[in-house]
Structure 1
Amino acid sequence: MSATLRSLRFYLAIGLAQGLLLMWTVLYSDLSGVAMAALAAALLAGGGLLQLLAEQRRQPRIWIAMLLVALGAAGLVWVCRGLPFTLGVGLGAMAGLLLMTLLSATLLRGRADLWRRLLGNGAWVLLALPMPWLVQWLFKLWIQHRHLDPFKSGLLSLAFFATPTLAFSGAMFLGNLWCARRRAQVA
């Protein structure tokens, strides 16, 4: 199997695992709303860090960093639980989660060209972020057109939760592939 297909398989496995765990969290767990939000933030931030550092995924320090970022994301959501849920608080928490993930991914690659890599990582994440919402919107349109309830079927429930995470993973894969080709052309 080529390196590109192995890389794609890794990204899709992360996206599918995130979707499965989000589905379990929302549909089958008895967690409170704050605990669900903290677990979802941990899943998404940790998985995002792992996708940003996919080429270094065999290093144990990357997995330790992923767990620390996931715990930090859950902690940030837990700390915000006492604040009123307004647009400003929600956007601030999302910005904090993104910044934590981006800084961690950038620092784990070393200090050389820190700002350039931070801006590069940020650009790819910002380009990938609309994909889950777009895919979720299209999925909802399809469900409404077919008059289906995604929560009455296990496969539709999985699609409801996994298609956004898979879309983000696919966009991150394409970004990583583009960056790898650019590095190969420069070298």
Structure 2
Amino acid sequence: VLRNLAHNQRNHTSLIQAGAVEPLVAIMRNSWDAAPRINAAVAVACLVGHEEGNPRLQLDETLVDEILDVLDAACQGTMRHGSFWTVWKLCQGLASLTVNDKNKELITEKGGVNILNEVLHDSHYNNEAAHRYALSAIWNLAFNAASRLVILKTPGLVDSIRDIVHKSESIRTKEAAKGALWTLGLEQDVKSLSETMAQDAGWY
């Protein structure tokens, strides 16, 4: 329940003031059950993910494996830990968790880039949000040199990002895609795509 509330920014202040963060961190760190750990981590990410240096965001290797496993299952439409998981909600969590430098390394090492690529290649419930949050996570990862190389070498990923810049109807999703391309060192792509879109719109 807390995780679902945390996905809505309008609930953040009341949840934080009610003291929800520390109990969630305790579950995230100490629960022996994967599902509560994952739910707690995503909720914490939603609540304090804007605080780049917040130590509460730090994941351990097991939790990274668990989050990526359920995201992969969600992309396939299969159950994990007795539940069906929602792609956009997991990606929203990852978009915040990837602001942490250590998490960037762990998520990349554990194959997170491939799974985010999978998100962009598929259609999901609330697809625009799923793509936007996946792109935000990729954008964050791209600030890490090792992660950036993995992203650039992942087959089809950069092309998917370019395609979203060109075709998405969401301004926020386009901006996340452009930010990812720019941080990947593909500034010319952003300029060329922007010019093409302007020409298609008849601006010049």
How would you bin the TM-score normalised by the shorter chain?
A: under 0.3
In the superposition, the TM-score normalised over structure 2's length comes to 0.24
In the superposition, the TM-score normalised over structure 1's length comes to 0.26
